[in-house]
Chain A
């Protein structure tokens, strides 16, 4: 194998030997990432289906539950994630242009935004814990029931809303944590000078992942927080 004259061409250490050239490697990595995101769409999709079915059947309980969520924190989190996607995109651009220091800055900012999101989410969950809205033995939606004397809220279906809320935001948060982990590794490697204009595929692909997790939140936010937010009659 190594005797073949064709193998002797200059290439960086990033080229893995089962690929013919860097372009094939990059193409393969890109296709792989997009396919992986397709599987993630199916993963969240199953849950979105369950959510849509229950929301259609138990609209009042879902609307009431939605209004009990903190819309300010939710909106701030949405803004935080959108900004983080911006820093990710700018980071990819910086890597493309070979600007090492700028890349590090943007990676760092992305991490800050990501951790901020998780922190705010943690606070929201804590609030729900205090209000006894976490499904399970100690679930109690009396406060919500009292808020709507005109509508008999079925507490079981209210629990369903919160079950879906925690399942969906929980899985999303798990993906965020994985994203934060990924970007921490990228930051470390970027500081060691691993990435250049010739080789920034991991940044690009991790960026795709981050954008995807962001898009899932863009769907989650209106579906969970913005059901029927007009003033009550």
Chain B
């Protein structure tokens, strides 16, 4: 708005306008309420100041007034609550086909890896108009991924994934801040989100050394770590077949049903006994301490890519990635 004295950051995402609308409503509401109370007090102070011969009138109360000024605010609060809830649900429900970027936070930098393989440090290049989902974890303490221009924030935790999504609407460079205190250089753990026009973004993708797509790295690891010995696509596997597992409901041996999301896959690698699939024995070895965060991300990306034929059409993922052939026992 005001160029020299801005009251809010640039609006660069689909969420930003929604958040600002609610914010402005609340600012107006608060201004009205504050002015009302201040005015009443000032008027009463002036009108009812102590004067010779005028006594105060003892008023015990008024149940009607009390109910009124309890119920009315409550109703307004409920409006604010519902409005905010809708925005929150929307901004925390990533679209199904969002492009994924894996984020690993550590003291005191951001490491990002695109699905296509590009790695970035403290910077994230994204095209305008694309849904981008961040799958984030921390290597050490709690951090928080905050982009004021997008009006979004999510704590990044060690030991599990948290997610955040956005769709940028305006090209430009925007602040990325770490907003959960994380030690000495917390205030230096800043970066930029670089939003580009789609053509420029493609050019950026093509330039530089991309490295292997994440899922391909994962495929290699899957072999190297021996996962393919048990997780086979034939009935010989001592572990469940992983093709198409991502996003599906899984029945566990203790009767629970869970959705196989990023965290489920991650947990199954690090602590397999937590959720054992029905019909299988709990014999998978524990990989806690044997894989790094980046390797975990690659494995998760690989498992997600299995058995999804439309993967080949998605930008960046070569259609030639095949599930590995099980080793002959």
Q: Contact mask A133-164 → B, CB, 8 Å, 1/0?
A: 00000000000000000111110110000000
B227 to chain A, nearest CB (A): 15
B271 contacts partner chain A, Cβ-Cβ < 8 Å: yes
Task: Establish whether residues A152 and B288, one from each chain, have CB atoms under 8 Å apart when the complex forms.
Answer: no
A219 contacts partner chain B, Cβ-Cβ < 8 Å: no
Query: What CA separation (Å) do A60 and B271 show in the bound complex?
Result: 11
* Chain A: interface residue total (CB-CB under 8 A): 11
One of A60, A61, A150, A154 near B288 (C-beta < 8 A): A154
Chain B residue contacts of A152, Cβ below 8 A: 272-273, 282-286
Task: Establish whether residues B288 and A156, one from each chain, have CB atoms under 8 Å apart when the complex forms.
Answer: yes
Q: Which residue of A lies closest to B273 (CB)?
A: A152
A72 contacts partner chain B, Cβ-Cβ < 8 Å: no
Query: What CA separation (Å) do A156 and B272 show in the bound complex?
Result: 13
Query: What CA separation (Å) do A220 and B248 show in the bound complex?
Result: 40
Q: Which residue of B lies closest to A61 (CB)?
A: B273
Chain B residue contacts of A60, Cβ below 8 A: 273
B281 contacts partner chain A, Cβ-Cβ < 8 Å: yes
Task: Establish whether residues B282 and A150, one from each chain, have CB atoms under 8 Å apart when the complex forms.
Answer: yes
B85 contacts partner chain A, Cβ-Cβ < 8 Å: no
Q: Contact mask B265-294 → A, CB, 8 Å, 1/0?
A: 000000111100000011111101000000
Task: Establish whether residues A58 and B274, one from each chain, have CB atoms under 8 Å apart when the complex forms.
Answer: yes
Chain B residue contacts of A157, Cβ below 8 A: 271
Task: Establish whether residues B281 and A150, one from each chain, have CB atoms under 8 Å apart when the complex forms.
Answer: yes
B322 to chain A, nearest CB (A): 30
Interface size class of B (residues with CB under 8 A): 10 to 19
Query: What CA separation (Å) do A154 and B289 show in the bound complex?
Result: 11
Query: What CA separation (Å) do A126 and B274 show in the bound complex?
Result: 31
Task: Establish whether residues B273 and A151, one from each chain, have CB atoms under 8 Å apart when the complex forms.
Answer: yes
B225 to chain A, nearest CB (A): 15
A218 to chain B, nearest CB (A): 29
Query: What CA separation (Å) do A58 and B271 show in the bound complex?
Result: 10
Chain B residue contacts of A154, Cβ below 8 A: 271, 273-274, 286, 288
Q: Which residue of A lies closest to B270 (CB)?
A: A154
Chain A residue contacts of B271, Cβ below 8 A: 154, 156-157
B9 to chain A, nearest CB (A): 38
Task: Establish whether residues B273 and A153, one from each chain, have CB atoms under 8 Å apart when the complex forms.
Answer: yes
Query: What CA separation (Å) do A157 and B274 show in the bound complex?
Result: 10
A151 to chain B, nearest CB (A): 5
Q: Contact mask A50-87 → B, CB, 8 Å, 1/0?
A: 00000001101100000000000000000000000000
Chain A residue contacts of B274, Cβ below 8 A: 57-58, 154
A55 to chain B, nearest CB (A): 13
Q: Which residue of A lies closest to B284 (CB)?
A: A152
Query: What CA separation (Å) do A154 and B286 show in the bound complex?
Result: 7
Q: Which residue of B lies closest to A153 (CB)?
A: B273
Q: Which residue of B lies closest to A157 (CB)?
A: B271
A56 to chain B, nearest CB (A): 11
- Chain A CB within 10 A, most for which of B273, B281, B285: B273
- Chain B CB within 10 A, most for which of A58, A151, A152, A157: A152
B97 to chain A, nearest CB (A): 32
Chain B residue contacts of A150, Cβ below 8 A: 281-283
Chain A residue contacts of B281, Cβ below 8 A: 150
Query: What CA separation (Å) do A60 and B273 show in the bound complex?
Result: 8
Q: Which residue of B lies closest to A60 (CB)?
A: B273
A172 to chain B, nearest CB (A): 29
B296 to chain A, nearest CB (A): 16
Query: What CA separation (Å) do A150 and B281 show in the bound complex?
Result: 8
Query: What CA separation (Å) do A60 and B253 show in the bound complex?
Result: 13
Query: What CA separation (Å) do A188 and B274 show in the bound complex?
Result: 54
Query: What CA separation (Å) do A61 and B271 show in the bound complex?
Result: 11
Task: Establish whether residues A151 and B282, one from each chain, have CB atoms under 8 Å apart when the complex forms.
Answer: yes
A65 to chain B, nearest CB (A): 14
A185 to chain B, nearest CB (A): 46
Chain A residue contacts of B272, Cβ below 8 A: 152
Query: What CA separation (Å) do A57 and B274 show in the bound complex?
Result: 7
A135 to chain B, nearest CB (A): 16
Query: What CA separation (Å) do A152 and B274 show in the bound complex?
Result: 9
Chain A residue contacts of B273, Cβ below 8 A: 60-61, 151-154
A103 to chain B, nearest CB (A): 54
Identify 22 residue pairs between A and B in the complex whose beta-carbon atoms are under 8 Å apart, listed by A's number.
A57-B274, A58-B274, A60-B273, A61-B273, A150-B281, A150-B282, A150-B283, A151-B273, A151-B282, A152-B272, A152-B273, A152-B282, A152-B284, A152-B285, A153-B273, A154-B271, A154-B274, A154-B286, A154-B288, A156-B271, A156-B288, A157-B271
3 tightest Cβ-Cβ pairs between the two chains A and B: A152-B273, A154-B271, A151-B282
